[in-house]
Amino acid sequence: MVDAIAMPGLQNLLNEARAKLRQAGIADPALDCRLLAERATGLSAIELLTQPNCPVSEEMAAVFDNLIDRRAAGESVHRILGIREFYGLKLAMPEGTLEPRPDTECLVELVLPEARRFVEELGECRVLDLGTGTGAIALALLSEVPEATAVGVDIAEAPIAAACKNALDLGFDARFEAVLSNWYENVTGRFHIIVANPPYIVSEIIETLAADVRDHDPRIALDGGEDGLDAYRKIAGGARRFLCSNGVLAVETGYDQKRSVEALFAHEGFVRTGAATDLSGRDRALKFAS
């Protein structure tokens, strides 16, 4: 058991931390403090609530202060903890991976009926997840469709390793394969569904993004080029070589990119068959068929 030092108890530390985060403009300082306190002290949420005067060791206090400083500087709680929940799955999120966010779950919802349809009609569904990151989209689909398999593609080693770890931890490793590839470059075979949350931020506005995105998500996963559409051109241009004849293709988009992305895919012979909005009701995902 660690020795407590002569200092304020847990509640005092939490109060000071909440004040620091509030001053830094953090939207929900109480929740963030609780989550970071759980990590620093090893106490559960219930213990934090029922033991407000619990003495804190010097080591624990130092760890907690460091975590709070990181949050005050703009790093997200999930990035600090290295874990992010997505579609009910807990995913490891190491440095070098894009943080999966709740708005992207609408993309899963958009293609999930298609995956189930392919299984019902063909007994299988092969998914290609371009720019897989932590594997969030592919693994969410595998969690809902046991007959499905998926290949997750990414250009960097860190997300490939993260996706493989998450697949293993979730018990999906037998149905998931990660491929190091620049888009379709090292991909083989054909797929019933191609899905992607590509980089779509216009290059010149990246520096204006919130600190948790700008400073901690990998730039390569954000930067969509001069008009934000570079990745969509590559995805649409190469899709036919890897998509089954009756397959579908779905992508996440920026809230103001619906028309431009739809036009780009139409130029490649794809027809929009569905769309989805995010948690704020903004345009966020498009589905296409050839």
**Confidence at residue 65, expressed as pLDDT on a 0 to 100 scale:** 95
**pLDDT reading at 238 higher than 70:** yes
**pLDDT reading at 1 higher than 70:** no
Q: How confident is the model at residue 7 (pLDDT cuts 50, 70, 90)?
A: very low
pLDDT tens-place string over residues 246-286: 999 999 999 999 999 999 999 999 999 999 999 999 999 99
pLDDT tens-place string over residues 150-182: 999 999 999 999 999 999 999 999 999 999 999
**Confidence at residue 49, expressed as pLDDT on a 0 to 100 scale:** 85
**Confidence at residue 35, expressed as pLDDT on a 0 to 100 scale:** 94
* Helices and strands (H and E) in the chain: how many: 11, 9
223-248: average pLDDT: 97
The Cα 71–Cα 56 span in angstroms is: 20
pTM of the predicted protein model = 0.92
Tokens of 74: 């703009």
The sign of the torsion formed by the CA atoms of 237, 239, 245, 246 equals negative
**Confidence at residue 2, expressed as pLDDT on a 0 to 100 scale:** 40
Q: How is 41-109 classified by DSSP, letter by letter?
A: H---HHHHHH-TT----HHHHHHHHHHHHHHHTT--HHHHHTEEEETTEEEE--TTSPPP-GGGHHHHH
193-210: average pLDDT: 96
DSSP strand pairing (89-92 vs 125-130): unpaired
Percent of the chain, pLDDT > 90? 86
pLDDT tens-place string over residues 83-101: 999 999 999 999 999 999 9
